[in-house]
Amino acid sequence: MQADCTLVAGARFLAAADRQRLIDVLREAGYAVHGPRVQDGVIRYAPVATIEDLPRGWRDIQTPGRYGLRQTDDARLFAWAAPAESLKPLVFPGREVRFTAQRDASGRLHFQPAEVPAPRQAVLGVRACDLAGLFLQDRHFLQGGAHPDEAYRRRRRNLFLVAVHCTHPADTCFCAATDDGPVARYGFDLAISELEEGWLLEARSHAGQTILDRLPTRTARDEERQEAEAAFSQAAAAQRRRLPGGDLPARLRERLNPDAWQAVARRCLACGNCTAVCPSCFCHAHVEESALNGSATRRLRQWDSCFTAGHSLLHGRPVREDTASRYRQWLTHKLSGWLEQYGRSGCSGFGRCITWCPEGIDITAEAAAIAGEEA
């Protein structure tokens, strides 16, 4: 598929020297500003105070089972692929208290819902693949059934998203093949096209327009827009991986025979790294934590993974007894089940699951092998 890399008309140009203004204006509007930073050997979202906190000149090197960083003299702040973590922890934290319970002297129980901090947060540098992942989380937590998740809704509502169209995909990326990138199409308030001389800015929401109006911009020139579009087209063309075509969900449904999954199961460690970094994985466990004297207890919700034995536990035994059945659950849910549940594939071409797999297992290659085609 040829990714559409055109920008909408009407972009504004913000000179490189004025980029700090965006952070300032967001803070004045009451947002805590997060952005990509080099921390712990990776680029990840963290609070930022100045434009100097952003990863100027850094490149990420992501290959199956490998992640590395190197610095260049590139003046751009976003000339790298994708942060190590998705947006998921901002709306669906890895571990949080849901309620507390107390038992009084008469044996009565008192349940108290937990306070949900939902700060106004702006995130700079969000990729198209991450926006697709967030869209998937929205579908699950807000539109999945009769009981949407209130905590998710509150945090989500207070999120201001500044997308950056991608120019430097990693070896593991395949957003062009899933039609999610490299240009962000929806789900953001503001989007940045980064040039060496400055940023082209487009607003996609009322909140985004309000911020944009307060920045010292001018109308973007045609040649600036064309330069940006050429970089996005290159970013799309540079991607080598793709998921098998045709009716992949139907083909996967026909290949549920356990034998077909043994080869990948021999390499898969069932560690759950892929589910932790995946922007669409939503499974979570309920965990009880009690005071030693029994006077109080609290319910935690924490990320779970379908690669654990506990995930499918029924009457003391896992329904999915081996790694083959767990890998099958993960891959078929991602590439087939999601479509029936929420109207689109659960994969946005992020490739993080490939990078962070200790064995370098590649979802695109495994899907092709299972579906019976050469990768």
3-state class (DSSP) for residue 312 = helix
Of 180-188, 225-233, 289-297, 359-367, which segment contacts another protein by CB under 8 A?
289-297
- Cβ atoms of 2 and 242 within 8 Å: the answer is no
154 binds another protein (CB under 8 A): no
Q: Which of residues 17-46 bind another protein (CB under 8 A)?
A: none
Rule CB under 8 A: say whether 107 interacts with another protein.
Answer: yes
Other CB atoms within a 10 A radius of the CB of residue 247 amount to 12
Answer yes or no whether residue 105 interacts with another protein by CB under 8 A.
no
Q: Whose Cβ is closer to another protein: residue 45's or residue 330's?
A: 330
If one asks whether residue 137 binds another protein (CB under 8 A), the answer comes out as no
CA atoms within 13 A on the CB side of 3: 30
| Pick 13 or 92: Cβ nearer another protein | 92
Stretch near another protein under the rule CB under 8 A, chosen from 65-73, 124-132, 335-343, 361-369: 335-343
Query: Applying CB under 8 A, which of residues 194, 304, 362, 366 lies at the interface with another protein?
Result: 304
Q: Is 85 in the site for another protein (CB under 8 A)?
A: no
Contact window for another protein (CB under 8 A) among 51-59, 81-89, 129-137, 319-327: 319-327
How many angstroms separate the Cα of 30 from the Cα of each of 121, 160, 205, 211, 366? 8, 11, 17, 11, 45
Helix pair angle (128-143, 150-157), 10° resolution: 140
Distance, CA of 123 to CA of 138 (rounded, Å): 17
- Judged by CB under 8 A, the stretch of 5-13, 72-80, 311-319, 356-364 that binds another protein is 311-319
Check residue 320 for interaction with another protein (CB under 8 A): yes
Distance (Å) of CA 47 to CA 36, 42, 92, 129, 277: 8, 15, 17, 21, 20
Residue 120 found at the interface with another protein (CB under 8 A): no
**How many angstroms separate the CA atoms of 55 and 76, rounded?**
8
Give how many residues touch another protein by CB under 8 A.
53
Q: How far is the CB of 334 from another protein (least distance, A)?
A: 12
Cα distance from N-terminal residue to C-terminal residue, the chain: 16
Q: Is 250 in the site for another protein (CB under 8 A)?
A: no
Report how far residue 315's alpha carbon sits from residue 213's, in angstroms, rounded to the nearest whole number.
60
Sequence-ordered list of residues with C-beta below 8 angstroms from that of 189, at least 6 positions apart, any chain: 160, 161, 162, 203, 204, 205, 207, 208, 211
Cα(346)–Cα(349) distance, rounded to whole angstroms? 9
Nearer to another protein, 65 or 144 (CB): 144
Among 13, 45, 282, 356, binds another protein (CB under 8 A): 282
Q: How far is the CB of 235 from another protein (least distance, A)?
A: 33
- Smallest gap from Cβ 349 to another protein, in A, equals 21
Please state, in angstroms and rounded to a whole number, the distance separating the CA atoms of residues 288 and 274.
25
Residues in contact with another protein by the rule CB under 8 A:
98-99, 101, 103, 107-111, 113, 140-141, 144-147, 149-150, 253, 256, 258, 282-286, 288, 290, 294, 297, 304, 306, 311-316, 319-322, 325, 328-329, 332-333, 336-341
